[in-house]
């Protein structure tokens, strides 16, 4: 199995349900700072490539672990920002539309948070 396949399978496992077409009309909660999110993700991507390079160059394991920890913290920060954007935009909009839609979005957010804190 290739590394890309493993990442794809892990992503699919982390998203247990497909969103129906029209599940969320309009821009997503992160749309207002999409550029910032992309910049952060590119920085994290560079950090991950740096870790691979460290392993390839037989760097000291504690130094590699330190970098893994830094990437983990960076991803956690992005995750928390996305949760905040989702709650402040998608969940609020759904709650304004109807109690049922609001409850469904709260449940969806709770499940996402549960996946984030499970390690």
Class of domain 32-117: mainly alpha
Which 8-state DSSP code applies to residue 21?
A: T
- Cβ distance 33 to 85 under 8 Å? yes
**What DSSP element (H or E) covers 71?**
helix 61-85
pLDDT at residue 28, rounded to an integer: 76
With the C-alpha atoms ordered 102, 92, 12, 79, is the resulting torsion angle positive or negative?
A: negative
Task: Dig out the tokens for 3 from the structure.
Answer: 């590394």
pTM of the predicted structure, to 2 decimals: 0.71
* 119 residues of the chain, pLDDT tens digit each: 545 444 444 444 444 444 443 355 567 767 678 899 999 999 999 999 999 999 999 999 999 999 999 999 999 999 999 999 999 999 999 999 999 999 999 999 999 999 999 86
| Residue written as token pair 């691979």 | 52
Strands annotated E in the chain: none
């Amino acid at each position: 199995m290739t590394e890309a396949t493993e990442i794809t399978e892990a992503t699919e496992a982390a998203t247990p349900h497909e969103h129906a077409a029209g599940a969320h009309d309009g821009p997503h909660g992160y749309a207002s700072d999409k550029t910032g999110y992309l910049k952060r993700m590119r920085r994290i991507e560079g950090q991950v490539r740096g870790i691979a390079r460290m392993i390839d160059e037989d760097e000291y394991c504690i130094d590699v672990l330190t970098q893994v920890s830094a990437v983990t913290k960076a991803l956690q920060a992005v995750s928390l920002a996305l949760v905040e954007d989702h709650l402040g935009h998608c969940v609020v909009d759904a709650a304004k539309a109807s109690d049922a839609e609001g409850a469904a979005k709260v449940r969806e957010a709770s499940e996402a948070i549960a996946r984030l804190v499970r390690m």
